Amino acid sequence: MAGAKNSNFVEKLTPYLKQKLVETSEKYGIDSEEYRSFERQYLKSKNEDEINHEDRLRHYQSEVHVHYEGKPLRGVERLYRRTILLEPTMVCAAHCRWCLRGQYPQFGLTEDEITTFAKYTGSDEVKDDLKEILITGGDAFMVPKRLEFIFSQINKFAPNIAFIRIGTRVPVQDPSRVNDELISILKSADPIRLEIGTNINHPSELTVEARKAYTDIYKIAFKIYDQTVLLKGVNDNVETLNELYDGFRYLGIESHYLFHCIPMQGMEHHRTSVQKGLEIASQVTNSGGVSGRAKPMYTLMTDLGKITLYHGTILERNEKNELLIQSHYTIDDFKYRNPSWELPKSAFQDKNGFLRVWYPDGNDDKDSLKISNKKISLIVEKNKFNPKKGFNTFVWDMYCEGPYKLEGEKLTEGLSGPMALPGIYNVEIITSNKNKSNSLKTEITLIKDPRVSASRKDLEDQFNLIQK
């Protein structure tokens, strides 16, 4: 299944997600983070038109075929010693734009192929090493009967398997599928310990329906763990992630990974720089904003697999905006598990025999306009400044951000932010392109309306009240 199909990544949404797009646009507006949390994840961007076939290849290039009785096993990969990966289907409820899986060839495994996989997993060749199976794809919750058959065959032919993990986004994409039939099938995995891995990227995804789905799963699974993807314009701020991780803890979901969005041409609008990701991860995990019980590991998916970032992991940056990442994998680690494995072109050995790999960084390109006055601690950011060739005009209405609003709270309904106080303001236009940033600064003076009788102190008190 290596490589991508020679076609564009089609847009696919469930009726449930279409409904959420409508609801969030009506309630919060199309410029809101709540709306973007759905729109950016599922609606195709014009940036994707830049993709060509070569760019759409999978994010790691090494072949990972597994052979049994002289034949390759379809939909099977083995990158780690104790874990084997099974892809029974490549169908998902919806297509996440930031995910490469939707560009793989579409297929589904037959019962014969699943039985062969189970026999291999329990064979003398690997049974002493293999302890767990990761079921991914595609989304196995889309084919519950096939999932039930997998459980039966593993219990029959591979008693060495103690754990099965299932990766799914169905609870946030089509929660009605988490029904009595699916729950009954999940129970049939017993005596294998069943764990559920998921991707939840924004608090808006934790709807009433999604919460019920995860709660129902939690009752019969030993653990639900999350692998949040850091997405530009969706969750690339501390406040959103803190709220998200608190939501996880309440539902009993473990915060496992915070993934940097994978490198994929045409999807750069999803990717921050790794440096920004590190800063966000550091604030989330070290500022006291979330409990120590809810802290994720900031991790990259490289050509060598997952690498969690620690001190000394990032060694240097080259002129291609690639980061050199230090791993503690060796060639023997991969060859032992998979004799057909080949060293990716992006990787090489260091003097100690450990592998290093080049990783394409994202960027924080953003055209913005900042208006600030340090004396009154006022900062206004307008990130929707979209300059075009020629002369450009931006009009500031002199109003600041409004008060924070709790869901359902009526007191501040319809209340705008405060008007900026008289004084001298710094205006900075910032334009970014790839790794270059340009800035133009000037000053403006706001003069008090002579028709207003209120004193300076009165205006400041009003400003502070509305802002709070």
Domain with residue 22: its CATH number is 3.20.20.70
Does residue 376 sit in the same domain as residue 265?
no
With respect to residue 442, please indicate whether it lies within any of the assigned structural domains. yes
Does residue 294 sit in the same domain as residue 439?
no
Cis peptide before 138 (omega within 30 of 0): yes
Mean pLDDT in residue range 41-69 = 65
Asked whether the predicted pLDDT for residue 338 surpasses 90, the reply is: no
pLDDT of residue 346: 92
Question: Which of 279, 306, 341 is a domain's end point?
Answer: 341
Asked whether the predicted pLDDT for residue 463 surpasses 50, the reply is: yes
Question: Which of 341, 356, 389 is a domain's end point?
Answer: 341
What interhelical angle do 180-187 and 208-218 show, nearest 10? 30
Asked whether the predicted pLDDT for residue 259 surpasses 60, the reply is: yes
Give the pLDDT band (50/70/90) at residue 3.
very low
Does residue 295 sit in the same domain as residue 429?
no
With respect to residue 36, please indicate whether it lies within any of the assigned structural domains. yes
Does residue 233 sit in the same domain as residue 105?
yes
Cα dihedral value 111, 113, 114, 116, nearest 10: 120
pLDDT of residue 429: 74
Mean pLDDT in residue range 161-166 = 97
269 token code pair: 């609008």
Does residue 157 sit in the same domain as residue 271?
yes
With respect to residue 324, please indicate whether it lies within any of the assigned structural domains. no
Does residue 196 sit in the same domain as residue 303?
yes
With respect to residue 350, please indicate whether it lies within any of the assigned structural domains. no
Does residue 71 sit in the same domain as residue 193?
yes
Does residue 389 sit in the same domain as residue 300?
no
Mean pLDDT in residue range 121-148 = 95
With respect to residue 319, please indicate whether it lies within any of the assigned structural domains. no
With respect to residue 329, please indicate whether it lies within any of the assigned structural domains. no
Task: Confirm if 377 and 421 have CB atoms less than 8 A apart.
Answer: no
Share of the chain above pLDDT 70, in %: 80
Does residue 105 sit in the same domain as residue 238?
yes
Task: Confirm if 81 and 129 have CB atoms less than 8 A apart.
Answer: yes
C-alpha distances out from residue 239 to 141, 234, 283, 382, 413, Å: 31, 11, 10, 19, 22
- Report the 3 state secondary structure along the chain: CCCCCCCCCCCCCCHHHHHHHHHHHHHHCCCCHHHHHHHHHHCCCHHHHHCCCHHHCCCCCCCCCCEECCEECCCEECCCCCEEEEEEECCCCCCCCCCCHHHCCCCECCHHHHHHHHHHHCCCCCCCCCCEEEEEECCHHHCHHHHHHHHHHHHHHCCCCCEEEEEECHHHHCHHHCCHHHHHHHHCCCCCEEEEEECCCCHHHCCHHHHHHHHHHHCCCCEEEEEEEECCCCCCCHHHHHHHHHHHHHHCEEEEEEEECCCCCCCHHHCCCHHHHHHHHHHHHHCCCCCHHHCCEEEEEECCEEEECCCCCEEEECCCCEEEEECCCCHHHHHHHCCCCCCCCCEEECCCCCEEEEEECCCCCCCEEEEEEHHHCEEEEECCCCCCCCCCCCCCCCECCCCCCCCCCCCCCCCCCCECCCEEEEEEEEEEECCEEEEEEEEEEECCCCCCCCCHHHHHHHHHHHHC
Does residue 154 sit in the same domain as residue 226?
yes
Mean pLDDT in residue range 365-394 = 59
What pTM value is reported for the model?
Answer: 0.76
Asked whether the predicted pLDDT for residue 154 surpasses 90, the reply is: yes
Calpha distance 431→342 (Å, rounded): 42
pLDDT of residue 178: 97
Task: Confirm if 245 and 283 have CB atoms less than 8 A apart.
Answer: no
Task: Find all residues with CB under 8 Å of 362, minimum gap 6, and list them.
Answer: 232, 260, 261, 263, 268, 270, 271, 272, 273, 274
C-alpha distances out from residue 292 to 235, 243, 255, 287, 296, Å: 20, 14, 10, 10, 9
Calpha distance 421→214 (Å, rounded): 48
With respect to residue 185, please indicate whether it lies within any of the assigned structural domains. yes
Calpha distance 258→235 (Å, rounded): 11
Mean pLDDT in residue range 178-204 = 96
239 token code pair: 């406040």
* Chain length of the chain: 468
Give the pLDDT band (50/70/90) at residue 54.
very low
Task: Confirm if 63 and 72 have CB atoms less than 8 A apart.
Answer: no
Calpha distance 354→38 (Å, rounded): 40
With respect to residue 63, please indicate whether it lies within any of the assigned structural domains. yes
Q: Which amino acid is at 268?
A: E
Share of the chain above pLDDT 90, in %: 55
pLDDT of residue 382: 54
Per the prediction, the chain carries an average pLDDT of: 84
Task: Write out the residue range of the structural domain in which residue 152 sits.
Answer: 15-314+334-341
437 token code pair: 């940033």
Number of domains into which the chain is organized: 2
Calpha distance 425→112 (Å, rounded): 71
Task: Find all residues with CB under 8 Å of 87, minimum gap 6, and list them.
Answer: 1, 75, 76, 77, 109, 135, 136, 137, 138
Mean pLDDT in residue range 172-187 = 97
Calpha distance 6→3 (Å, rounded): 9
389 token code pair: 């060739």
Task: Confirm if 194 and 166 have CB atoms less than 8 A apart.
Answer: yes
Does residue 199 sit in the same domain as residue 92?
yes
Please indicate whether residue 85 or residue 375 has the higher confidence score (pLDDT).
85
Asked whether the predicted pLDDT for residue 114 surpasses 70, the reply is: yes
Calpha distance 231→337 (Å, rounded): 33
Please indicate whether residue 252 or residue 410 has the higher confidence score (pLDDT).
252
pLDDT of residue 458: 81
Does residue 150 sit in the same domain as residue 262?
yes
